[in-house]
Amino acid sequence: MATKIRLARGGSKKRPYYRIVVADIRSPRDGRFIEKVGSYDPMLPKDSEDRVKLDVERIQYWLGNGAKPTDRVHRFLDAAGLLKREPRNNPKKAELGAKAKERLEAKRQAEEEAAAAAAEASEAASEGAAEEAAAE
C-alpha cells in the first residue's frame, strides 16, 4: 500500500488547524487515515514551540516503510532535522506576464518621448537665449 505523510485540515472557517497524518494515497484529504503523527497550528506565531508537533519515532518508522511526505510536511521534517529538503529553483516565477511586459514597454516609450520633448524644449529655450544675447 502506498502511503503519504500529509496534512488533514480541521478547525473552523478561517481558523485552520491541521493534523499530520499517515494515509493511503487514495483516501481523501480530510478522510480516512492510518495514524496521526503530529499537528500543525498556523494560527500560532512562527517562533512558538506548539506550532508544529511531531511524533518523531512514528514518523521515522513510516519513512522507513516507504511513506512519502508532501512538500509542506517535508519542510516541517527538514526543520526538525529528520529529512533534508533541497530548495527549489523556479527562475520563471519572477518573470512578468505578457500583458505586464506590454504595459511596461508602453510606459518606457512614453517616458522616452517625454524626455525627448523636454530636451527639445530646453534646446529651443537655449537657442532663444543665445539669439537675444547676440541681438544685444
User: What is the tens place of the pLDDT at every residue in 104-130?
Assistant: 999 999 999 998 888 888 877 776 665
**The C-alpha cell of 63 is what?**
519513512
71 Cα distance to chain centroid: 13
- The answer on 61 and 14 residing in a single domain is yes
> 85 or 23: which carries more pLDDT confidence?
23
CATH number at residue 73: 3.30.1320.10
- Asked if the model's pLDDT at residue 134 lies above 80, the reply is no
Residue 88 lies in a domain: no
Task: For residues 132-136, give the mean pLDDT.
Answer: 61
Task: Say what the pLDDT of residue 3 is.
Answer: 93
Tens of pLDDT along 62-87? 999 999 999 999 999 999 998 888 88
Task: Say what the pLDDT of residue 128 is.
Answer: 66
Mean pLDDT computed over every residue of the chain: 89
Residue 39 lies in a domain: yes
- Give the count of domains, the chain: 2
- The answer on 9 and 71 residing in a single domain is yes
Task: Say what the pLDDT of residue 30 is.
Answer: 86
- The answer on 107 and 48 residing in a single domain is no
Torsion of CA 75, 81, 83, 87, to 10 degrees: 50
Tens of pLDDT along 28-59? 888 889 999 999 999 999 999 999 999 999 99
What DSSP string describes 38-65?
Answer: EEE-TTS-TT-TTSEEE-HHHHHHHHHT
Looking only at the bridges linking them, the beta strands covering 68-69 and 52-54 are: unpaired
Domain span at 72: 3-80
Task: Say what the pLDDT of residue 34 is.
Answer: 94
83 Cα distance to chain centroid: 21
Which 3 state secondary structure label does DSSP give 86?
Answer: coil
Residue 21 lies in a domain: yes
Residue 75 lies in a domain: yes
- The answer on 70 and 113 residing in a single domain is no
